[in-house]
Structures are given as structure tokens and as C-alpha cells.
Amino acid sequence: MSASAPGRVNLIGEHTDYNGGPVLPVALERRTAITAALADNWSFASSLEETVTGVEIEAPLRRDWTDYLVGVVRELRALGAAPPGASVAVATTLPVGAGLSSSAALTVASAKALSLLAGRRLDLAQLVEVAFRAEYHQVGVRCGRMDQTIAAHGARGTALLFETATGGMHRVPFPGRLWVVETGISHRLTGGELNERRRECEEALAYCREWRPGLSHLAQLSPGDLPEVERRLPPPLAARARHVITETARTRAAAGALADGNLQLLGALLVEGHESLRLDYRSTVPEADHIVGTAVQRGAYGARLTGAGWGGAVVVLPPQQQEARIMAEIGQDFEQAFGRPPQMWSTRAAGGVRREGLSRQPV
């Protein structure tokens, strides 16, 4: 049984998904594929990592790439949707640790392949939940639901405006191409920065509740509340909250700009979002700041560090007629500054999880 799921670029709406705000991701053409066959016990092979055999699903996690798969199997078991054992093989065209959600591609694709192998057909919402719980509750990354949601619900030629507080989803046409420039700084989220930011946001919310009892998410506050937030919260927490509040407004504005085909405005919002990450959320790295700066100088509509941050990749939106020149110049500027050329590639908005195989059947 085979299935695949895409990585993602988040156009905008960073660190809003665990604060009740909106996100605007796009599914990539680059994907992770899983093939699984029934077996007496569990073994995991990957094109990138060492094969691991005889894995005990209920034993303590190994603290390596297999944890995501073990997490998925545990969550499928809880639904009665796991096979008794399987040989699982993973192949991917996604860079790992580049902030492009290779982990959600892995968990969503494996949730699909393994549940089908067990004779169960889970719907997209169930696949998202299994994948989310595997990462959050099993592996222990305090992520939101953006990555799993786009890996499951992505659709060709569209970005997905996902309102995380309500679960509302709205597809926005994204007919063009976007570019990804990898910083080459790899970040493993289990390293803790994301978890720390999440704690800070919870603390900020607790402060805000003293004056707004009943507030359920930071993203419910509006830019008009900022003076009060800044007066009441200690400076680092005020800055984190300011990012979430302004990013929420920017994300909805960006979805509107994209729907109107106003790429100039969309690009300007992306750059503002990057600045907010740099100054208020403090999740950028100098390589990303450099790429965004040169992208704007060279004539891109906009650019922004995408994904959790502390490394990863920058999304760049260049005008179509000038993309070859602009991207070449961004590459040259980067090489001059950091002594190595960056990995750069383009993609269109692609589809979400799907069953694969010679006898591909409707799912």
C-alpha cells in the first residue's frame, strides 16, 4: 500500500496556528512517499536514513526519525486503524530540516498508507488528527495544526486560508509559481525554540486575561488593543503578542490581496511579516534576513522566512517576467555574503495526500 503527501510553504501567518489565528500555506510539488506491506513486526527503511528493524511500538522512543512513524502507529492503534505489523519504506523529494514541513508530509502520508493497509479509510480530518497527535503528543513538538492540515487538504493551484480557531478553510487561487531559497541552516524542532515560544505565548495570554477575562486566544486581540498589551506585558512577552496580533491582521489582508491578484500588496505584507519575525518573534537567522533584503532590492514583490524559523527557507515572490534575473542575483548576493551558493527551486501549488500505486484507485 502506498501513499504520498506534500511539504508546504507558508505564505504568511507564522506562529499564529497555536494562537488561534489564520495561516495561508501552499502545498509543494515536493512530496514524501510511503510504501507499506503487512509483516509480523515493524521495520522502517528510508532513502535518507539507516534501516531500523524489530521496532517495538510501545517501547520508549528512539529519538530519531522513526519516532514520527511510531507516533503515527500509536495514534492509529488508538483508533483501531493500525495494521498488526508492517515493513515501511520512505522516500522523499523534500529537503529535511529546511522548514518545509517534511515531518507532516511523513506523518500524513504514513497515516494514510498504514490505515489503508489495515483496511480502514480515514477521512482527511482524521488523517490530520492522527498526524498532529503523533507529532505533538508522541514526539513532543508543540506545533499547531497548519502543517498537517495543508499536507492533507492542499489542492492544485490554490493557497489555503485556514482559520485555526474555527477550523474554517477557504481556498484562494494561487495560479503562479513561488520560489524557495534554502538558508542551509538546518533546524530540528525538537531542539526547543518553538516550544519556548509557545510557552511565552501562553504566559502572554495569561497576562491578557487579567484585563480581558474569557479571552481564549492571543489572535482574538486586534491591533487596537496593542497599547494596552504593551502597557501590561513585560517587554519580551509584549513583543511576542504584538507579532501574533499584527500577523493575524496581515494574514487576512494577504489572503484578500492574493484573491484580488494584487501581488504588490501581498509582497509588501510578506516583508512586513518577516520584519515582525525578526524584531518581535526573534525567530529569523541572518541568512534569511539577507535573502529577504536582497530579494526586495532586486525587485521581488516580497519574501519572508517561512515555517518555524531559526533556520529553514525563505519564500520569494518575483514578478514572472523577471524571475530568472532576480533569482540569479539573489543567489549571487548570498554566495558573496556567505561563501556558498544557496539551494533554490520553484514550485506551483500542488495537491494534498493521496494514495499512490500502479492500481491507484479513487480514495
CB 10 within 8 A of CB 332: no
Q: Which cell is 61 given?
A: 522512543
Which range, of 83-91, 138-146, 154-162, 204-212, touches ligand GLA by CB under 6 A? 138-146
Q: Which stretch binds ligand GLA (CB under 6 A): 15-23, 66-74, 153-161, 201-209?
A: 15-23
CA distance 141 to 134: 9
For residue 150, how many other CB atoms are within 10 A of its CB?
33
Compute the least distance from the CB of residue 53 to ligand GLA, in Å: 29
72 or 117: CB nearest ligand GLA? 72
Question: What is the smallest separation between the CB atom of 199 and ligand GLA, expressed in angstroms?
Answer: 13
Distance from C-alpha of 246 to C-alpha of 25, rounded to nearest angstrom:
18
The pair phi, psi for residue 175, each rounded to 5°, is: -75, -20
Instruction: Find the catalytic residue in 67, 147, 280, 333.
Output: 147
All three cell numbers of 284, joined, read: 529569523
Is 123 catalytic? The answer is: no
Q: Which of residues 18-47 bind ligand GLA (CB under 6 A)?
A: 18
Q: Which residue is nearest to ligand GLA (CB)?
A: 143
- Given a contact cutoff of 8 angstroms between Cβ atoms, the answer to whether 107 and 146 are in contact is no
In whole angstroms, the minimum distance from the beta carbon of 339 to ligand GLA comes to 28
Tell me which residues in 291-330 interact with ligand GLA (CB under 6 A): 307-308
SS (H, E, C) 91-160: EECCCCCCCCCHHHHHHHHHHHHHHHHCCCCCCHHHHHHHHHHHHHHHHCCCCCCHHHHHHHHCCCCEEE
CA distance readout (Å), 114 to 2, 11, 60, 145: 9, 31, 21, 21
Binding flag, residue 250, ligand GLA (CB under 6 A) = no
Q: How far is the CB of 67 from ligand GLA (least distance, A)?
A: 15
Shortest separation between residue 167's beta carbon and ligand GLA, angstroms: 15
**Residues recorded for the chain:** 363
Is 36 or 108 the residue whose CB approaches ligand GLA more closely?
A: 108
Which of 4, 5, 7, 17 binds ligand GLA (CB under 6 A)? It is 17
Residue 14 sits in the site that holds ligand GLA (CB under 6 A): yes
Site string for ligand GLA, 93-132 (x = CB under 6 A): --------x-------------------------------
Q: Is 15 in the site for ligand GLA (CB under 6 A)?
A: yes
What Rg, from alpha-carbon coordinates, does the chain have?
A: 20
- What letter represents residue 108's amino acid? V
- The contact mask relative to ligand GLA for 175-204 (x = CB under 6 A, - = no) is -------------------x----------
Residue 143 in contact with ligand GLA, rule: CB under 6 A: yes
Q: Which residue has the cell 487538504?
A: 153
Cα 151 to Cα 74: distance, rounded to the nearest angstrom: 20
Q: 3-class DSSP state for residue 317?
A: strand
Please list the active-site residues: 147
Residues in the site for ligand GLA, rule: CB under 6 A? 14-15, 17-18, 101, 143-144, 146-147, 194, 307-308
